[in-house]
Amino acid sequence: MDAKLTGPFGQMLLTPNGLKIGRAQDNQLVLQDVKASGHHAELKPWGQGFGIVDQGSTNGTYVNEQRLLPQQVRPLVNGDVIRIGDTTFSYSYPEARPVEATVYAAPPAGGLPPTALAPQPFADQAFTPPVATPPLYAAAPPQYPQYPQYPQLPNNYAGAPLNQGRPQRSGRRLWIILGSVLLGVVVLCGLLFVVVSLSKGGASPDNTLNAFCTDLQKPDAHAAYGELDPALQSRVPEPLFTQFFTKQPINSCTHGTPVENGNKATATVILTSPTQSAPLSLPMTLIKESDGSWKISDIQMSDTPSF
C-alpha cells in the first residue's frame, strides 16, 4: 500500500519525488490559506516512508500540534496529523515498520577467559639500576658576612624627648628674620635716595631752557608755560602767553650758556619767527625752586614790556 496524504482536497498518493506545499504556484500542492507561506513545507522520502521539512515558514509547520524546527526532517508515522496555517492533513502509510532499536554487541555469557585477564610475564632481563642524578645545586650556598646585632630596645621604651640635646633656635630665628627685614628697608631707602639724587642732579638751568625751546618749536605753548616760575605765571596768564607765541610761530630757538649765581641764573634765548624780520632776543632769569628744579622767573622783551 502506498503512502497517502488526506486533506480538504481529498487523498493524494505520495511519490518518490516528494511533495512541495505552499501558496506559491510552483508547488505541487497549492494552498489557499493566508497563514501559509509561499514555500511552506515539503514531504520527501525518508527511511521506509516519508518525512516532512519546514522550509522556514512564518507561521510554522505542526505535526500532532508540535511545531517543527525549520530545515530539519521530521519522520512521519501512520496516523500523524499535519497542520499548516488553518489547513489540516493526515498521513497514512500502514506498511511502514517502526525503526528497530540498535543492537550492541555483548561479551560472551561465560565472560572472558582467565588467560586473557592474567598479566603476561616479562622476558628475563638483567636488572640495571637507574643512574643517580646529581642534585641541581651541588655547590654549597654562599656564605654572607654576619653583621653585628644592635641591642634591642625594651618594649616599654618611650623614646627621648623631641627637644633633648637640641639647642633652642626659636630666638635665633626671630633675630634672623628681623635682621632680614631691616636690611631690606635699608636697601630700599638707599635706592630711593639714589633715584631722588639722580632726578635732582639732572635739573639745571640749561635743561630748563632746552625744554622751553623744544616746547615752543613743537609748538606746545602749554608745556612751555609749565617751565615758568609760579610767581611769573601769576603775572602772566596762560592765555596771554599762548596767544603771544601763537601769533609768532617759532622756527628755531637757541640759548646761550646760563650764568649761575647761587639760586639764580641768567641766559639769553634767541627766537626766529616768519613774522619777524629779525630774531627775537629774550634775556631770561631763572630761579632754583625748593625741590631743586629750575624755573624761568623773568623774561625781558627788547621791544615790548617784560612779562
Q: Is residue 199 part of a domain?
A: no
Q: Which three cell numbers stand for residue 272?
A: 626766529
Of 92, 122, 146, the domain-final residue: 92
Predicted TM-score (pTM) of this structure: 0.34
What's the mean pLDDT when you consider all of the chain? 79
Per residue in 11-57, pLDDT tens? Answer: 889 999 999 999 999 999 999 999 999 999 999 999 889 999 999 99
- How far is the C-alpha of 77 from the C-alpha of 63, rounded, in Å? 10
| Cβ atoms of residues 241 and 260 within 8 Å | no
Please state, as a whole number, how many other Cβ atoms lie within 10 Å of the Cβ of residue 283: 15
237: domain CATH number?
3.10.450.100
Please determine, for residue 109, whether its predicted confidence score (pLDDT) is greater than 70: no
Residue 279 lies in a domain: yes
Share of the chain above pLDDT 90, in %: 30
Final residue belonging to a domain, choices 92, 126, 154: 92
| pLDDT at position 110 | 58
State the cell numbers at 174: 626671630
Examine residue 234 and state whether it is found in any structural domain, yes or no.
yes
171 found inside a domain: no
Q: Which domain holds residue 264?
A: 205-299
Q: Where is the domain boundary, 31, 61, 92?
A: 92
- Domain count along the chain: 2
pLDDT band at 70 (very low <50, low <70, confident <90, very high): very high
In one-letter notation, the amino acid at residue 248 is Q
Inform me whether the pLDDT recorded for 161 exceeds 80. no
Q: What is the DSSP string of 141-162?
A: PPPPPPPPPPPPPPTT-----T
> Is residue 29, in this structure, part of any structural domain at all?
yes
CA-to-CA distance for 219 and 72, rounded, in angstroms?
112
Mean pLDDT of 169-194: 86
